[in-house]
């Protein structure tokens, strides 16, 4: 089987060489096609950070194994890591955090083992990067949460739990505040959970999750979250097990999957063989299991754990009374210990009924994801539009009322989400960006007539049509409304 390999920037090439050396010593039956991605190729004029040939190779092979990569800062270029995940629809980011021997943490010293899998939605949310400067003082970011996208990542979490024997899946969210976006994610989770009755499912507000992960991490098995929240909680969990140097990552899609180290490129130590290859190695083991090479993955993981138990470590962790190994020496120690099993932690066993990965056929066209949920009973109930002005609420209302048509009612003006008209507080501090809500049954054409009229008095950077789906309002209230 052939896979695409991108060594990455900074310490990437040396840790990738170390990991592939371990794979070869363990007789992993893989061939590697090395491709060009990362900072060097940004600087050569490839705005996506990868050459057309690299993109073609990944799409033909379906598997990318990559080292850490750097996106040049301050040049308006999108992150190569995010671009790769989104371009190839790797909708589920899986990060597995587990206690490792020889890696001292508060919890290992207390005898509390950690084994948490974070499943993060990988495509949508604020990481869509849809941003606009609405006024000189106000920037807007659109947070997109879709029912099909939520269903993809939630179903992956439950399928993974069923396959690997987890008994509990938790949805973390902020639906108490973001009732429509996080509310949709939570609703989808609850619907999918019904199909997995043997798995205990529950939900938790994400800030409560943060506290409980620090206080009682052993209570969690699999946690599924939206994109930004999942990114933050992933790094929190990395801190529980010793840092990003011990945090493997897999980005799973229906057609293409990416396995990578999530730590940085560490240019200050690049080329000095000081880097710890454990994160990339663990990511590689996730890849081997994805491909069906579970026996080789178990043998390498057991050798890694045995090596750590013997006190072998790189300079960034471990017993300071034992001289650290460099990158290659650490890899050589693992190779020497292939066939050994850890003595103080549970050895990893391999299932016998695992099938080898078969790359899906290339899609003929882009896939339109649309749920079968009936949304035909919908109507327009008004419009929210945003205006730029330094006037205050009552003055704005007086001007706006002159533009209203028949059956159109000005019901609310808010500033930064807080209502300032028809009621409000003199203590509410405002910026020059207001949301105006006009309600009433109207057509799209009538909305644009209204906006055209209002634009004679106010600049309108954006607007949102208010719709009702059955009995459910498709829009939120302002604070204080």
- pLDDT single digits (tens) 208-253: 999 999 999 999 999 999 999 999 999 999 999 999 999 999 999 9
Q: Does the structure show a pLDDT above 80 at 30?
A: yes
For 363, other C-beta atoms within 10 Å of its C-beta total 10
Higher-confidence residue of 122 and 51: namely: 122
Between residues 451 and 377, the one the model is more confident about: 451
Residue 190 pLDDT exceeds 80: yes
Which architecture characterizes domain 104-241 according to CATH?
Answer: 3-Layer(aba) Sandwich (3.40)
DSSP for 254-278, please give it: SS-EEEEE-S---TTTTTTT----H
User: What does the pLDDT look like over 331-374, one tens digit per residue?
Assistant: 999 999 999 999 988 888 877 777 889 988 989 999 898 876 66
User: Has this prediction a pTM greater than 0.85?
Assistant: yes
Least confident of 89-93, 282-286, 322-326, 477-481: 477-481
- For residue 76, the model assigns a pLDDT of 61
Phi, psi at residue 75, to the nearest 5°? -120, 10
Highest mean pLDDT (candidates 78-92, 122-136, 341-355) = 122-136
Q: Do domains 104-241 and 378-473 have the same CATH topology?
A: no
Whose CA is closest to 6, among 92, 87, 79, 81?
A: 81
Give the burial string for 284-308 (b: 16+ CB within 10 Å, else e): bbbbbbbbebbbbbbbbbbbbbbbb
Q: What is the pLDDT of residues 439-481, one digit of tens each?
A: 999 999 999 999 999 999 999 999 999 999 888 899 998 887 7
Mean pLDDT of the chain: 93
Q: How far apart are CA 197 and CA 422, in angstroms?
A: 49
Residue range 87-109: mean pLDDT, rounded: 93
Q: What pLDDT band is residue 99 in, cutting at 50, 70 and 90?
A: very high
Percent over 70 (pLDDT), the chain: 98
Instruction: Return the pLDDT at 77.
Output: 67
pLDDT value for 470? 85
Q: Which residues contact 41 (CB under 8 A, 6 or more apart)?
A: 49, 50, 51, 54
Averaged pLDDT, 284-288: 97
- 62 or 45: which leads in pLDDT: 62
Please give the CATH architecture assigned to the domain spanning 1-90+263-373.
3-Layer(aba) Sandwich (3.40)
Confidence of residue 15 (pLDDT cuts 50, 70, 90): very high
Rounded to 5 degrees, φ, ψ at 448 are -70, -30
Residue 374 pLDDT: 60
Residue pair 411/460 in contact by the 8 Å Cβ criterion: no
Say if CB 466 and CB 428 are below 8 A apart. no
Write out pLDDT tens, residues 378-417.
Answer: 899 999 999 999 999 999 999 999 999 989 999 999 999 9
Q: Which of 138-152, 160-174, 304-318, 357-371 has the lowest mean pLDDT?
A: 357-371
In the block, residue with structure tokens 């043998």: 299
What is the percentage of the chain residues whose pLDDT exceeds 90?
Answer: 79
Domain range list for the chain: 1-90+263-373, 104-241, 378-473
pLDDT of the residue at 74: 59
Q: Give the CATH number of domain 378-473; options: 3.40.50.2300, 3.30.310.10, 3.30.70.1570, 3.20.20.80.
A: 3.30.70.1570
Structure tokens at 457: 């008095």
| Mean pLDDT of all residues in 140-148 | 94
pLDDT band with cut points at 50, 70 and 90 for residue 75: low
* Cα 426–Cα 431–Cα 432 angle in degrees, nearest 5: 120
- Binned at pLDDT 50, 70 and 90, residue 45 comes out as confident
């Amino acid at each position: 089987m052939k896979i695409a390999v991108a060594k990455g920037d900074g310490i990437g090439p040396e840790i990738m060489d170390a990991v592939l050396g371990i794979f070869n010593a363990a007789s992993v039956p893989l061939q590697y096609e090395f491709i060009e991605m990362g900072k060097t190729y940004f600087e050569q004029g490839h705005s996506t950070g990868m050459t057309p040939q690299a993109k073609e190779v990944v799409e033909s092979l379906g598997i990318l194994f990559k080292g850490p990569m750097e996106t040049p800062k301050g040049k308006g270029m999108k992150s190569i890591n995010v671009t790769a995940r989104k371009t190839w629809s790797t909708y589920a980011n899986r990060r597995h955090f587990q206690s490792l021997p020889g890696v001292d943490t508060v919890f290992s010293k207390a005898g509390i083992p950690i084994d948490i899998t974070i499943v993060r939605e990988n495509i949508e949310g604020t990481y869509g990067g849809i941003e606009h400067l609405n006024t000189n003082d106000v920037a807007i970011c659109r947070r997109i949460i879709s029912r099909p996208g939520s269903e993809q990542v939630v179903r992956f979490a439950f399928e993974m739990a069923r396959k690997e024997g987890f008994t509990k899946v938790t949805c973390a969210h902020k639906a108490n505040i973001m009732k429509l976006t996080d509310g949709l994610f939570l609703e989808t989770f609850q619907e999918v959970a019904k199909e997995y009755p043997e798995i205990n499912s529950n939900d938790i507000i994400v800030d409560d999750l943060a506290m409980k992960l620090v206080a009682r991490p052993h209570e969690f098995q699999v946690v599924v979250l939206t994109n930004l929240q999942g990114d933050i909680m992933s790094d929190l969990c990395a801190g529980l097990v010793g840092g990003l140097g011990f945090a493997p990552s897999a980005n799973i899609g229906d057609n293409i999957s990416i396995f990578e180290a999530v730590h940085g490129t560490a240019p200050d130590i690049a080329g000095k063989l000081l880097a710890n290859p454990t994160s990339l190695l663990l990511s590689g083991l996730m890849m081997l299991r994805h491909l069906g090479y579970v026996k080789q993955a178990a043998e390498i993981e057991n050798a890694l754990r045995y090596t750590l138990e013997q006190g072998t470590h790189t300079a960034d962790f471990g017993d300071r009374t034992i001289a650290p190994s460099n990158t290659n020496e650490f890899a050589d120690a693992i190779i020497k210990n292939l066939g050994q099993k850890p003595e103080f932690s549970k050895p990893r066993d391999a299932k016998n009924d695992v099938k080898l990965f078969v790359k899906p056929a290339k899609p003929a066209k882009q896939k339109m994801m649309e749920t079968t949920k009936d949304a035909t009973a919908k109507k327009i109930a008004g419009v929210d539009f945003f205006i730029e002005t330094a006037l205050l609420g009552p003055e704005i209302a007086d001007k706006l009322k002159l533009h209203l048509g028949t059956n159109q009612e000005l019901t609310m003006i808010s500033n930064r989400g807080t209502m300032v008209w028809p009621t409000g507080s003199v203590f509410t501090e405002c910026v020059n960006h207001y949301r105006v809500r006009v309600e009433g049954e109207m057509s799209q054409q009538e909305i644009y007539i209204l906006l055209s009229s209002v634009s004679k008095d106010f600049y309108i950077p954006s607007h949102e049509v208010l719709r009702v789906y059955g009995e459910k309002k498709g829009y939120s209230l302002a604070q204080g409304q």
